[in-house]
């Protein structure tokens, strides 16, 4: 009996230790699983991406800008127009905005020399590929991303670039992310997501969102091409920042500059059981 109790205790301790280790390594282990189970389509998607970049390069023809804004969209015409207007209203004037339609069709967009749009030949339903095409079809010092169902405050890029250019060149971050004010479609605020950068914590918890990211462009910058259905973790932005922060410096700016809509009909995120804040934020 004593031996059995000791054995059970050791087994429980072993399970507890395993849970702690797995918790600390959640993202790397999940991404390894994704590569094994879902990575088979990535090569074909990379070939599609290359072909679309070659096809669209002349059509897009955006000049070099200080910041390239890439907006991926799919069948959200009214929300897309609001997102694009918030990008064009930035206090940083030297921007180029590229809307990349994932095969769903585009509405008439504002007439602005800083804005271009393009449509992919087919719907990929792979956000990373859509964003990669946008990155590769633009030329800029910095790259930022804005989903078609979200908006920026006018100072978003100004705040982010100030952080990217703060201090001596060898001490400046390579990517920054600002805080998000997250709301339901009816306008009720859920919370403000603002988490200082901690790579160990990022391995366990996805607290960085694509819409808040501004990255100093470098050759080979790309999102994962793995197909990630709703419910698969990590998402593209979580994986990207964790991968880049292995060699690049990341910094959080605790200023809410993103108006993030928690969209129950999102193509990419499951927002079940979300609740608004008890008090105004």
Give pLDDT, residue 1.
Answer: 54
The reply to whether 279 falls in a domain is: no
Q: Which structural domain, as residue segments, surrounds residue 229?
A: 2-261
Give pLDDT, residue 207.
Answer: 96
The reply to whether 103 falls in a domain is: yes
Tokens of 122: 């087919």
Give pLDDT, residue 265.
Answer: 60
Cβ atoms of 157 and 68 within 8 Å: the answer is no
DSSP string, 96-143: EEEEEE-SS---PPP--TTEEEEE-SS----HHHHHHHHHHT--EEEE
CATH number for 61: 3.90.550.10
Which residues, in sequence order, are CB contacts of 221 under 8 Å at separation 6+? 135, 143, 215
Tokens of 124: 């990929």
Task: Record the pTM.
Answer: 0.86
Give pLDDT, residue 21.
Answer: 41
The reply to whether 107 falls in a domain is: yes
Sign of dihedral through CA atoms 257, 269, 105, 187? negative
Give pLDDT, residue 26.
Answer: 87
The reply to whether 56 falls in a domain is: yes
Tell me how many domains the chain contains.
1
The reply to whether 82 falls in a domain is: yes
Give pLDDT, residue 134.
Answer: 98
**What is the per-residue pLDDT across 107-155, written as a single tens digit (0 to 9) for each?**
999 999 999 999 999 999 999 999 999 999 999 999 999 999 999 999 9
Give pLDDT, residue 186.
Answer: 86
Q: For the chain, which residues score pLDDT lower than 70?
A: 1-25, 264-281
């Amino acid at each position: 009996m004593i031996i059995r109790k000791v054995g059970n205790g050791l087994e429980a301790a072993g399970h507890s230790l395993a849970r702690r280790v797995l918790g600390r390594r959640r993202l790397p282990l999940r991404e390894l699983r994704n590569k094994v189970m879902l990575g088979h389509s990535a090569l074909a998607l990379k070939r599609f991406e290359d072909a679309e970049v070659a096809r669209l390069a002349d059509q897009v023809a955006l000049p070099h800008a200080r910041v390239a804004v890439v907006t991926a969209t799919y069948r959200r015409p009214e929300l897309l127009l609001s997102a694009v207007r918030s990008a064009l209203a930035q206090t940083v004037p030297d921007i180029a905005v590229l809307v990349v339609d994932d095969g769903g069709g585009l509405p008439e967009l504002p007439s602005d020399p800083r804005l271009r749009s393009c449509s992919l030949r087919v719907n990929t339903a792979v956000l990373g590929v859509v964003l990669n095409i946008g990155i590769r079809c633009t030329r800029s010092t910095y790259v930022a991303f804005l989903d078609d169902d979200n908006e920026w405050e006018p100072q978003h890029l100004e705040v982010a670039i100030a952080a990217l250019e703060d201090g001596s060149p060898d001490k400046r971050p390579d990517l920054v992310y600002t805080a998000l004010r997250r709301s339901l479609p009816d306008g009720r605020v859920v919370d403000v997501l603002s988490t200082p950068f901690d790579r160990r914590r990022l391995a366990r918890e996805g607290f960085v969102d694509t819409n808040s990211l501004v990255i100093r462009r470098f050759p080979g910058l790309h999102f994962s091409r793995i197909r990630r259905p709703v419910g698969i973790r990590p998402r593209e932005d979580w994986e990207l920042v964790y991968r880049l922060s292995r060699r690049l410096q990341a910094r959080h700016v605790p200023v809410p500059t993103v108006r993030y809509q928690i969209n129950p009909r999102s193509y990419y995120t499951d927002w079940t059981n979300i609740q608004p804040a008890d008090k105004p934020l």
